[in-house]
Amino acid sequence: MTPSSRLQQVSGHLGGANSSNIPTKIGVKSPEDVVIVSALRTAITRARKGGFKASLPEDMLAGVFKTMLNQTKIDPALVNDICVGTVLAQGGLATNSRMAALYAGFPESTSVGTVNRQCSSGLQAVVQIASAIQTGLIDIGIGAGTESMTLNYGATSMSPTSDTIADDCESAADCTLPMGITSENVAAEFKVSREKQDAFSAESHRKADQAQKNGWFKSEIVPVEVTVEDKDGNETKVIVDHDDGVRPGTTAEKLSQLAPAFDDEGSTTAGNASQVSDGAAAVLLMKRKTAEKLGLPILGKYITSAVVGVPPRIMGVGPAYAIPAAVEKAGITIKDVDLFEINEAFASQAVYSIEKLNIPAEKVNIHGGAIALGHPLGCTGARQIATLFPALQRQGKNVGVTSMCIGTGMARI
């Protein structure tokens, strides 16, 4: 199989850990390094049922922006540009994102734009800002992502497609396949059993439950105040501060009782696929010399990214091709990576990618992934970064990778 499109990002965490065994390109510090000084997210909540069901995308995004400004104490006027990843929102969320930034305290001089690379939109936003800093177009920027799947998920978010093109090009037609069917295609073509998928999914919940109970998400989650209305129309204020999709006590045996969701003879179920969710995340980047001048803490440095393509009908295999491309660009090997955040769009594709690359299970999604936490499409890429750095620091590790498959057959790292 020839890869067709996939994007991934490599991040190196250098604070407080032994970097003597890290390859030179990553281990050496330079004033010109692009570094991450803050990475925060909201809680991830269940669409139509969870804490953000009555919130708009910009409500969640503004909450993250406000806390980022409060925590870092950075002068908001120093932030040159903000890029927001989003997938489903009408108008590309362009107006809403600008409103969120202004409301959070950024001045009118801080520009705001949005980007849609489907499931990797939040990661694409971070890469776009990092690239602008590397090339000197801006000094300081924020890559972010937000999605309200409560508000926008479903047929109304889909644009019409050309029957002529679909009839004449099989790969183009495959771009319109439901994501669940692409998951079934991966499971069937690469023989990823239902048992493996359910076991992987149960483990995602176990790890996320453990992380919640130990308070490991607290440093990355921004509490957001929302207004809720009861059945009598009375409004109250509540704080949303925890992921509400995690199901303690989930087992492979329990998951095995669920019926297939997309194909009566298939293996993908509501229990071994990512949850439909709401959330937002943001990552503040600048050069090392700028961070040091401003007295800001450095979580780690951005190393490189890569994008490759895979056949749309099996879009989920993307990380298996993007991760090798990115680590090669970084001058390291997969064995040099300490922790991986690989999005769990579906258990079938996550299991395939991990096994294909021979990645030890104990290095992957150590605090659970999208099957347990949820996958607000435009948010997830930035959310993974917010989760990755505290995990690296907690374990005294150095090198992390974030990666995900992308609808229509792409991947980002």
| Nearest by Cα to 351 from 255, 258, 273 | 273
What is the rounded CA–CA span in Å between residue 129 and residue 137? 9
Are the C-beta atoms of 59 and 222 separated by less than 8 Å? no
Up-side HSE of residue 357: CA atoms within 13 Å toward CB? 28
The answer to whether 83 is a known catalytic residue is no
The answer to whether 119 is a known catalytic residue is yes
Out of 13, 205, 375, 379, which one is annotated catalytic? 375
What is the rounded CA–CA span in Å between residue 111 and residue 113? 7
Which residues touch 255 (CB under 8 Å, ≥6 apart)? 198, 201, 202, 269, 271, 272
Q: DSSP secondary-structure letter at 106?
A: -
Which alpha helices (DSSP H) does 263-336 contain, by range? Answer: 288-294, 319-330
What is the rounded CA–CA span in Å between residue 183 and residue 187? 6
Q: Are strands 399-406 and 111-115 parallel, antiparallel or unpaired?
A: unpaired
CA dist 275 → 44, 270, 298, 302 (Å) = 10, 8, 32, 29
Buried b (16+ CB within 10 A) or exposed e, 30-59: eeebbbbbbbbbbbbbbbeebbbbebbbbb
| Nearest by Cα to 250 from 194, 197, 206, 186 | 206
What is the rounded CA–CA span in Å between residue 134 and residue 119? 24
What is the rounded CA–CA span in Å between residue 327 and residue 308? 13
Out of 13, 119, 367, 379, which one is annotated catalytic? 119
Rg (CA), the chain: 20
The answer to whether 367 is a known catalytic residue is no
What is the rounded CA–CA span in Å between residue 36 and residue 365? 20
Catalytic sites, residue numbers: 119, 375, 405
